[in-house]
């Protein structure tokens, strides 16, 4: 049989066509993998075993915003302020959230109580590139901490027969106060673990991290590159009892101590307090001041590692859509820096400008120090 010769040009064209087909197939395969493993983790009660390919990981951010706690009036009050005063000034940060799926709140230290809509916090995802959210039923809290709470509320000092853990000198504290504090600690610790697990799986490296409440109206801008540095964290300059526990941002290793070393240091702290300042037990702000902040100073090798922000102000939002407008000035010069009031100006006017609507009626006096204003949508 006579062999048919294939022209060289035709052979080259066939090879080029085959190569093009292979490249197209490879491109389709990669596109399929990107869509199969999205970068968002939604409504997960447990940390995932593997967070795989992330198309947004081409440029790695250096900052993370971690929101913790129980969202209150999130859509109506909190979200507008986060968009204007946090996301706008930290546009490349990744966002992490831990929150409790609790739909009712009783009246107490947190206000008049009312209906909660915690799932509103998912609306935050519309305004950020990468976000990871962990929702936890409130019922999961009790098996973890009920034994510890019993010990805190019932253990007596062997010599004085006074409560050892419970801060009996703090007249506003009761059993529910300790429950709320431990819930906050657990939420802070959980969102840190979510961030830590995700960053390890995805290869993210965060130089700066902020721990932020999800139930406050941020009245002034918060910038992670302002006042913090490699040897200093930033905390609020208000709510000082004797220091503020309401927020922190700064270098990763220092903020990690703030977020994760509360439960492990309980016994160390209680023994210290019993000896040096008896009666204050697990008082929240004193716990940070006496135990957590010294550990941060040690890891940063800096006695001046704790810096109070001279302008930052945010106000607690309540389930009934009221706002505690005296948060940044309560306690006088011992409770807040004078520079904050000067920076904020008229609190109600600034609040209404952020919300884009007027609040209703004159402020109501909650206590000698605190005023509340109704900002519910009509």
Q: Residues 289, 293, 297, 298: is their CA dihedral positive or negative?
A: positive
Cα distances (Å, whole numbers) of residue 150 to 146, 176, 188: 6, 12, 21
- Assign domain 58-314 to its CATH architecture: Alpha-Beta Complex (3.90)
Whether the Cβ atoms of residue 167 and residue 173 lie closer than 8 Å to each other = yes
**CB neighbourhood size of 364 (10 A):** 12
Q: pLDDT (tens digit, 0 to 9) for every residue of the chain, 378 residues total?
A: 444 444 555 555 555 555 544 443 433 332 322 222 233 333 333 433 333 334 344 356 689 999 999 999 999 999 999 999 999 999 999 999 999 999 998 876 666 778 999 999 999 999 999 999 999 999 999 999 999 999 999 999 999 999 999 999 999 999 999 999 999 999 999 999 999 999 999 999 999 999 999 999 999 999 999 999 999 999 999 999 999 999 999 999 999 999 999 999 999 999 999 999 999 999 999 999 999 999 999 999 999 999 999 999 999 999 999 999 999 998 888 899 999 999 999 999 999 999 999 999 899 998 888 999 999 998
Edge-first strand order for the sheet with 208-213 is 131-137, 94-101, 63-68, 208-213, 248-251, 233-236, 306-309
Task: Give the pLDDT confidence score for residue 19 in this predicted structure.
Answer: 52
Distance CA 357, CA 300 (A): 44
* Vertex 85: Cα angle to 340 and 99 (nearest 5): 105
Task: Give the pLDDT confidence score for residue 285 in this predicted structure.
Answer: 98
Question: What is this structure's pTM?
Answer: 0.84
Q: Domain map of the chain by residue range?
A: 58-314
* Vertex 130: Cα angle to 127 and 131 (nearest 5): 85
């Amino acid at each position: 049989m006579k062999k048919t010769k294939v022209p060289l040009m035709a052979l080259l064209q066939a090879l080029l066509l085959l190569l093009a087909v292979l490249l197209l197939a490879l491109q389709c395969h990669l596109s399929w993998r990107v869509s199969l493993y999205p970068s968002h983790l939604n409504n997960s009660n447990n940390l995932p075993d593997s967070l795989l390919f992330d198309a947004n990981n081409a440029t790695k951010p250096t900052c993370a915003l971690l929101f913790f706690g129980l969202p209150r009036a999130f859509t109506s009050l909190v979200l507008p302020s986060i968009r204007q005063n946090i996301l706008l000034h930290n546009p490349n940060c990744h966002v992490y959230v831990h929150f409790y799926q609790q739909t009712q709140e009783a009246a107490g230290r947190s206000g008049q109580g009312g209906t909660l809509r915690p799932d509103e916090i998912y609306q935050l995802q519309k305004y950020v590139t990468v976000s990871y959210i962990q929702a936890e039923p409130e019922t999961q809290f009790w098996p973890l901490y009920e034994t510890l709470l019993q010990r805190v509320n019932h253990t007596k000092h062997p010599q004085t027969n006074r409560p050892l853990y419970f801060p009996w000198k703090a007249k506003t504290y009761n059993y529910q106060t300790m429950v709320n504090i431990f819930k906050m600690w657990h939420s802070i610790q959980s969102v840190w673990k979510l961030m830590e697990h995700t960053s390890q799986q995805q290869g993210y490296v965060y130089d700066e991290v902020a721990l932020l409440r999800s139930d406050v109206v941020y009245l002034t801008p918060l910038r992670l590159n302002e006042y913090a540095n490699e040897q200093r964290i930033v905390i609020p300059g208000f709510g000082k009892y004797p220091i503020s526990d309401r927020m922190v941002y700064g270098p990763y290793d220092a903020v990690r101590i703030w977020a994760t070393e509360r439960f492990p240091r309980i016994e160390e702290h209680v023994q210290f307090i019993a000896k040096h300042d008896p009666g204050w037990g697990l008082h929240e702000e004193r716990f940070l001041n006496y135990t957590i902040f010294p550990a941060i100073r040690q890891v940063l090798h800096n006695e001046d590692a704790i810096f109070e922000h001279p302008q930052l102000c945010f106000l607690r939002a309540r389930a009934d859509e009221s706002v505690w407008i005296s948060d940044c000035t309560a306690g006088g010069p011992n409770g807040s820096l004078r520079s904050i009031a000067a920076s904020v100006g008229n609190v109600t006017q600034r609040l209404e400008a952020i919300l884009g609507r007027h609040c209703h009626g004159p402020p109501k006096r909650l206590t000698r120090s605190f005023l509340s204003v109704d900002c519910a949508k009509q």
